[in-house]
Structure 1
Amino acid sequence: MERDFLPTTTYAVLGLLGFGQELSGYEVRQWALRSLRFFFWTPAQSHVYRELRRLEELGLAASRDVPQEGRPDKRVFAITEEGRRELSRWIDEAPLAPPVLKYDSALRLFFGQHARPGRLEEIIDEHRAAVQQTLDELDAVRAVLAAGGPPEDTSEEAGRWALADAVAVWGQKLWRSDLAALGRLRREVAAARARRPAG
């Protein structure tokens, strides 16, 4: 009998190991910060270590200690064959969770009747600036992928990062549409304020 599906964050870590590199817990988090944070998860270091322990206990990942000169040994993790099968099973068979829009800015705007004058526009402008920064960072990510992937990736496998780049392009399109929607929202907020009675 097949096991129940694991938490999605567990598969996120397993998927990063699935690129074939041996990674330390620190490196897993760095890879997540350069990739997964744009569309799924920004993990705490402690969460990464919990997921790695779980993967190892289940036989989905294996670890070994690598001696380092002048520093403590480094523990690195690699996906196992069972881990590859489990990652494929999750991708192929697990039901998709519904997409969720979870913006702090949207929540504040929803309750915006309690804001001081001008604050809603500030919130929209802050959100726009954050979106633009994300777009700039995605441009940098795409440049790294076009150059063959992260510098610590020693694989010579052709096309290894093509799907990651496709997701980055998708992200760029989503964020650009978000910028356009924020422009419309700012105009609507101003119009709503003009219609609201004073006092």
Structure 2
Amino acid sequence: MLGMLSGGDELSGYDVKKWINWALRFFYPSPAYSQIYSELKRLERLGLVSSRVDTGGARSRRMYRITPKGLSLLTRWANEETVEPPTLRHNPVLRVMLGHLMQPGRLREILVEHAAYADRMRQAAATEVRWTADQPAWSYARLALEWSERYYAAEHDLAMRLIKDLDEVEERLAASGRDNIEFPAREYWYEVERRIAAEGEDEPI
């Protein structure tokens, strides 16, 4: 919330949600309106934002602005806090991992849908990149959007590669004559784990 208000302008909760949907949705989850409003109230209690009621329009709106304390805290966080690595929760790939449970053709259908989704997101990011070009203040936002465009282009290519690899896997399994796949016994899993650990120990640091 503080990041959305750090540009200097005062925003309503609705404005914050629209800004998040516009720029951050490509790489960060978008909170619900209820989360946004409750968080803005919490930040105001902490003295990190201030608010006023604007009655100039057809309906009154509560407008929020970041305070000097809030900006100082946000700046310190951006510069000094540990940057956590991204956590990937990739549902299509999870379905690939569980491919032995999938009905015939269903996994391909999921991957085709995911490739189409990635291409739609790439196109949306590319459109927003164009609309940031005329505003120097949006230069950093433009960098993030350009990264998003490239990310979804790569995601599309990876999905298409998975579809191609799926063909090869299905041909190999069909040639093996096994209709059902059974995982190796757990002792084998532990043996593989030991071999991987030993391999890591042999690698130079």
Q: In which range does the TM-score fall when normalised by the shorter chain?
A: 0.7 to 0.9
Say yes or no: does 1:29 pair with 2:17: yes
Say whether residues 1:136 and 2:123 are aligned partners. Answer: yes
Shift of 1:119: 0.9
Post-superposition CA distance 1:132-154 (Å, at most 9, x none): 11011111211221243xxxxxx
Match for residue 138 of structure 2? Answer: 161
Aligned residues: 176
Contact 2:126–2:146 (CA under 8 A) maintained in structure 1: no
Secondary structure of 1:129 counterpart: helix
Counterpart of 1:67 (choices 55, 58, 79) is 55
* Aligned partner of 1:175 among 152, 157, 161: 152
TM-score scaled by length of structure 1 = 0.84
Structure 1 runs not aligned, ≥5 long = 1-12, 149-158
Gaps of 5+ in 2: 181-205
Q: How does 1:70-149 map to 2 (within 5 A)?
A: 70-71=58-59, 73-148=60-135
Secondary structure of 2:65's partner? Answer: strand
2:37 paired residue number: 49
The residue aligned with 1:156 is none
Q: Which amino acid aligns with 2:69?
A: E
Question: SS in structure 2 opposite 1:43?
Answer: coil
Matched residue, 1:3 = none
Greater helix percent: which structure? Answer: 2
Report the residue type matching 1:74 in the other structure: R
Contact conserved, 2:13 with 2:37, CA < 8 A, in 1? Answer: yes
Residue of structure 2 in register with 1:58 after alignment: 46
Q: In 2, distance between residues paired with 1:97 and 1:195?
A: 40
Q: What residue identity is the alignment partner of 2:12?
A: S
Structure-2 residue corresponding to 1:151: none
* C-alpha distance after superposition, 1:61-119 (max 9, x if no partner): 10000003442x21000111111101111111111122122122122221111111111
TM-score by length of 2: 0.82
Please tell me whether residue 188 in structure 1 is matched to residue 165 in structure 2: yes
- Aligned equivalent of 1:152: none
Q: Identity of paired residues, percent?
A: 34
Instruction: Tell me how far apart the structure 2 counterparts of residues 103 and 88 of structure 1 sit (CA, whole Å).
Output: 31
CA distance in 1, matches of 2:156, 2:72: 39
Q: Are 2:7 and 1:19 equivalent residues in the alignment?
A: yes
**SS where residue 78 of structure 1 aligns?**
strand
Moved more, 174-183 or 124-133: 174-183
Letter matched to residue 167 of structure 2: A
